[in-house]
Amino acid sequence: MRKAILKIDDDDPSSEELRGYFWQVFESVDAHPRPVRLKVVTRNSRTRDVEVDFDAEGRPVFRVGDRTPAVGEKFGGRWLPEHPVPLKFNRCGVTWLRLEPTSGHRVKVRRLNALAAFLLRFL
pLDDT exceeds 70 at position 118: no
What value does the mean pLDDT take over residues 28-57? 83
CA 116/CA 74 separation, integer angstroms: 30
pTM: 0.83
- Confidence band for 72, pLDDT divided at 50, 70 and 90: very high
Cβ atoms within 10 Å, residue 6:
19
